[in-house]
Amino acid sequence: LKRDNDQVRTSEGSDMLKALSVAADQLTVTGAKKIFVLGNGIQTKGAIQMQEPGQFPKSESSARLLALGLKGIGEIPDFNGAEVSWYGIGEVDGVNQSLSEKAATSLESFWKQVIELGNGRVGEFCALCGAGAPHKATSAQKGRGRTCKGGG
């Protein structure tokens, strides 16, 4: 939340690629490296702006093409073998906002592609963790990582 006396300049929007790049750059230790992300995965500024037409992955194949395009222009961070776990993926706020199951699956696929293309390892991916009160998973959510099972 922005406060009047903040020392760091802030701006609206979400640049997940930049955040992942900063996190990866901070991993200077030897041995196992892990990055934990808490966010919905919808990037709204930076190299890709998912609110714009054609920039939200609509299928797993378009997720792959989008990720490959970002790699082609040097926008995928180098994870140097770090494991990336993501919580809250695909969850959105508001009463009238939601992602379809297909859109959520495509978004998850996109970020997994980004991690793998950036020399990272996919850890746990979960939508329902960190998204308000604990939920019971629906049958459609079971088996695709949205219930906090291991990644991959």
Distance CA 56, CA 63 (A): 8
pLDDT in the model for residue 60: 93
pLDDT in the model for residue 98: 76
The counts of H helices and E strands in the chain are 3, 3
- Rounded to an integer, the average pLDDT of 50-76 is 93
The model carries a pTM of: 0.78
Which residues, in sequence order, are bridge partners of residue 122?
84
pLDDT in the model for residue 99: 82
Distance CA 19, CA 103 (A): 22
Poorest-confidence range of 1-15, 21-35, 57-71, 106-120? Answer: 1-15
Distance CA 51, CA 48 (A): 9
- Rounded to an integer, the average pLDDT of 13-30 is 89
- Rounded to an integer, the average pLDDT of 114-119 is 97
At residue 99, the 3 state secondary structure works out as: coil
Distance CA 137, CA 114 (A): 26
DSSP type of residue 140: T
Distance CA 61, CA 74 (A): 20
pLDDT in the model for residue 132: 52
**Are residues 79 and 118 in contact, defined by beta-carbon separation less than 8 angstroms?**
yes
Mean pLDDT, the chain, whole residue set: 81
Strand order in the sheet with 34-38: 34-38, 83-87, 121-126
